[in-house]
Each structure stands twice: as C-alpha cells, then as structure tokens.
Structure 1
Amino acid sequence: MKIKYNYIIIFLLLLIILWTFFRSFENIESQQKVWAISFGGGGQNFHDAVNRIHNELTTKINVFNEILKFTDEDLKKDTDFWEKHGNFIENNRRGYGYWLWKPYLIMKTMEKMNENDILFYIDSGCEITNDENANNKLITFIEKCNENEILYTSTGQPEKMWNKMDTIDYIGYNEEKTIQNAATIVIIKKNQKMVEFVNEWYRISCNYHLIDDTPSILPNDPSFREHRHDQSIFSLLTKKYNMSNEENLIETITKETNYVNFAYPILMSRKK
C-alpha cells in the first residue's frame, strides 16, 4: 500500500513538472518581441548608412528580436505604395519624398507585430554605442514604453517655428508655446490606440501639401523658419492624442564631442 502511495506521489510530481514545462514554453512563445527598423534610400550613401546602422543594431545591442532594414528598392517592390507615391518621391529628393515613407514603414511593420510588441524606429543617420550603461538605458526605454505606449524626444523648439500653418490648421492643434517633438527616434508599443495614431500619421502625410515645402496658404506664425515635414505632422498628432511622453532617447554629437562614456545607446551624428 505504501509503495502504491509513493507511485501516486511520483506521478503527481511528474504531472506538475510537465505542466510547469509546457506553461514555460507557452510563456516563451507569447513573450513580447522588440523590433527595430531603419531606412536608407535615394543614393548609395544612404544605402551605406542603413547597412551600417543595421550592423550596429545586430552586433552592439542584444535586446532586439527582429531587426529590419529598408531601402528605396523595397518601396519600389511595394506596387500599391509606389504607384501612388513614386512620382512624388522621385520629384522631391529631400528626405526621399519628405520622409513620407517613415509612417508607412512603421505602419506596415506594426501589421506584422503582435499586440504589445515594441517597435523602435531609428533614423539611419544615428549611431549605436555598445557601452554597458547605455545598453541598460535602452532596456529602461523599453520598460517606460510598456507603461507609456510611446516615447520620443522633444526638440526644445516652438511648434510654430517649425510647422507651416496649413498643417497646424488641418490637424486642429494651435496651442501657444507648445514644443515640437522629434521623429528621429520613436519607440512605440503596439495597441489599438497606437495603430490608429500611426495610420493617421501616414494618412495625413499622403496629403502632400501638408508634408512638403509648398508655401502655406494661411499666414505662418511670425517665428516660422521652416516646415519639418513628417516630424511636423508627428508632433502635432502627439498633442492631438494627448501624449506627453518626451524622453531623452538620443545624445547629439558633433565633431568636437568626445565619444567616451555616453549616457545613451543612440547617438545623433547624421553619419553616412
């Protein structure tokens, strides 16, 4: 009788072990993935830049599950996109179509992602460090994005200085003294709200007058200097969606900057 009881105990223990194993396997399968994308198009120097940053993301950072790079060749293979926007892009070399491709590529990548996955968009002109503290900071960004849905960096400059009035009027955000947010690096957690945000960013960008350098019909603010294209639309939408999650995601570097002991994993160097 005692032997039979022992067998029952062993059998139950085995069931518990197996159940724990399969639960762990399920958790691994359902774990949140972290994606990174970048783009370079319109010339060999931009292709070189996206190849460089892709290599840096692959070799210097170990938090990404999926790392994707895109070029103009990928856009041209996307028949629907290229038939709609190819002429505009080819005729407007700045930003390879004023960065119209940025919200589009973010949108298409998010379609591949699972709910709650994290996406990093990183301009190909940035650089990635491999400093241990910087890598830990990157993990902190992911944790903050899980809490806040989106992270971006503030430019510290007034919105109306870098946004033509027609775009401000179209989106319907005309608050005084608001600061423009940058779209150089954007970290997004996929959920319904953020899908709608990115889709609207792309939809508005398809109205070329709102993204390009054509003069505003409405009078610009007296402080106006230049329209910032995709970033102008992005920044206004962060206000429309009541987002206030500015974070220092990058460190700007110049020729005089010492590359030692950076506090951030991503450097804004505009390196080709």
Structure 2
Amino acid sequence: MLHFMTYGDHKFTNSKKRIVQEARNFGFDTCTVYSPDDLEPQFRNLFINILRQPRIGGYGIWRPWLIKKKLGEIRDGDYLCYIDAGCTINPTAHDRMKDYLRMLDQSDYGIISFQMTHLPEKWYTTEEIFQYFGVGNGVPLDGSQDTVVDDIRESGQILDGILIMKKCAHTEMLIDVWLKAVFDNPFMFTDIYNGIQTASYFIDNRHEQSVFSVIRKKYGCVLLAKDETFTMPWGSPECMKYPIWATRIRG
C-alpha cells in the first residue's frame, strides 16, 4: 500500500486541506494529516520550549516522532510518503512515482532522498551536528563506532520535507537515529549554536533537515543527485514529469 502523511499547525490549515485532496486524487491508499495535537503529551511537555518556537513549528523536532508513529501503524513493505503541507502533488506523474518505488524495491536502503547539490552541507549544518555524528573528528557521539570522512561536509544537503520511504529495517533505523538525536541534544535542531560557528562559510542551521541529511549520508539512502522536487517554472514540461513539487505554499 502507498500511504501519505503531512503535518501543519494553524498556519497551514488551508494547505493541509488542499494537499490531502491532491493526495487522494493522486491515488494514495491512505491519507493522514497531523497537527501539534497529535504529539503525545509526554513528548510535548518534554520539549515544550522548543515546540513553541515558530520556525518549522518547533524546529521540526516533531517530524521523526510522527514518522516513527506512522511507520508503526503500517505493514512491512508498505510505502510511506511524508510531504510538507506547503508542497503540491502533481496528479499526472504516476510513472515517476512508480520509478521511485521500484528504486526502493531494488535497494537495501529504505528512503528516496533528493539532494540540493548547489548547497554544501557545511553551509547549513553546525559543528555540533557534525561532531555528534563523528563527521571529520572521528569521535561519534551518536552511539556508532564509525568514523566518517569529510565528504559529508562538502556534498549538497539532502531535503527532508519530502521523504519517500519503504517500511523496512533500514528505514526504521534511520528514523530511530533521527529521533535519538532529538532526545540526546534537542538544541542541535535549533538556532542556539548559530552564533558560535567560526567557519566563514557557515550561513544558517537547517534544523531537522541538517540532522537528517547527515544521518542519510552516514547510513545510506537512495540518493537522487537532482532535486526533482524543485523544477522551475512550476507546470513546465520538465516539471510535469515529477510527482511532488516543493512549492512552499503557506496558509
């Protein structure tokens, strides 16, 4: 089965209604729309100060929690698409979606990921995140024993607002590592470390996206070097080939 999920607070009420209708029109077997009320009280209370912050409804720390919740509700081998409420689903691009699912079936990895090759990781990820995952310093703090090379810093950041997943051990492991990072150091997901970065090239932390980008580079994913979610102009012949557009519609 092919499942759809999205999330949004009151700022995205109309977008949630729009995209869930688009998902139904596309042919998803199930459609689930989450809001802050769907987070369990214990999680909300533990991270209340972060969840109150306006950026991504609390720096996106809810994302791994909700994806783990949804994965627990579907069967092994099912497909799950997390798509930000501000995105658009193109109803005519079924062939490319079938390609994505075929890629997952033929891979040991469980997530299709889109890379922004023009945006190096090091521009949008803090040293605290790199250090946590042992990127370049050889001392991982995430519980692994791996030493990761600096290529992770130089390669383009990987998008996390659109995730095409197959429920399997690899996918569940990635989400567990992501969620563990929330509990180990939730401040990595925030802007708190931005002011102490010393590298001249650093621009801004991208929060949950920065963390999950490094995770997927470290532990593997089905990586598409072209960001097919952002093909301008919207509705052009090239754009119409792709099923999910990162249109960033608010409201």
TM-score (norm 1): 0.78
For residue 245 of structure 1, give the secondary structure of its aligned residue in structure 2: strand
For residue 251 of structure 1, give the secondary structure of its aligned residue in structure 2: coil
Equivalences, count: 229
Where structure 2 has 5 or more consecutive residues not aligned to the other structure, the ranges are: 137-149
2:245 corresponding residue in structure 1: 267
2:43 corresponding residue in structure 1: 81
1:226 to 204, 207, 228: 204
What percentage of residue pairs aligned between the two structures are identical? 24
Does the C-alpha gap of structure 1 residues 252 and 179 become closer, same or farther in structure 2, counting only changes over 3 Å? closer
For residue 119 of structure 1, give the secondary structure of its aligned residue in structure 2: strand
Does the C-alpha gap of structure 1 residues 258 and 124 become closer, same or farther in structure 2, counting only changes over 3 Å? closer
8 Å contact 1:166–1:217 — kept in the other structure? no
Does the C-alpha gap of structure 1 residues 244 and 264 become closer, same or farther in structure 2, counting only changes over 3 Å? closer
Q: Does 1:200 align with 2:177?
A: yes
1:72 corresponding residue in structure 2: 36
Q: Name the aligned partner's letter for residue 165 of structure 2.
A: I
Post-superposition, which runs of at least 4 consecutive aligned residues in structure 1 deviate over 6 A? none
1:191 to 168, 177, 180: 168
Q: Distance in 1 between matches of 2:18 and 2:248?
A: 12
2:99 corresponding residue in structure 1: 140
For residue 47 of structure 2, give the secondary structure of its aligned residue in structure 1: helix
1:118 Cα offset (Å) = 1.2
Q: Name the aligned partner's letter for residue 44 of structure 2.
A: W
Does the C-alpha gap of structure 1 residues 247 and 67 become closer, same or farther in structure 2, counting only changes over 3 Å? farther
Equivalent positions of 1:119-134 (< 5 A) are 119-131=80-92, 134=93
8 Å contact 2:112–2:221 — kept in the other structure? no
Structure showing greater relative contact order (alpha-carbon pairs closer than 8 Å, 6 or more residues apart):
2
Report Cα offsets for 1:43-69 as digits up to 9, x if no partner.
3x312111111111012x12x222111
1:229 Cα offset (Å) = 0.4
Q: Name the aligned partner's letter for residue 70 of structure 1.
A: Y
Where structure 1 has 5 or more consecutive residues not aligned to the other structure, the ranges are: 1-32
8 Å contact 1:151–1:247 — kept in the other structure? no
1:178 Cα offset (Å) = 2.2
Q: Does 1:108 align with 2:108?
A: no
Q: Name the aligned partner's letter for residue 106 of structure 2.
A: E
Does the C-alpha gap of structure 1 residues 226 and 216 become closer, same or farther in structure 2, counting only changes over 3 Å? closer
Q: Distance in 2 between matches of 1:194 and 1:163?
A: 22
Q: Distance in 2 between matches of 1:115 and 1:171?
A: 28
TM-score (norm 2): 0.84
Q: Distance in 2 between matches of 1:67 and 1:247?
A: 28
8 Å contact 1:165–1:216 — kept in the other structure? no
Q: Name the aligned partner's letter for residue 242 of structure 1.
A: G
Does the C-alpha gap of structure 1 residues 89 and 103 become closer, same or farther in structure 2, counting only changes over 3 Å? same
Q: Name the aligned partner's letter for residue 67 of structure 2.
A: I
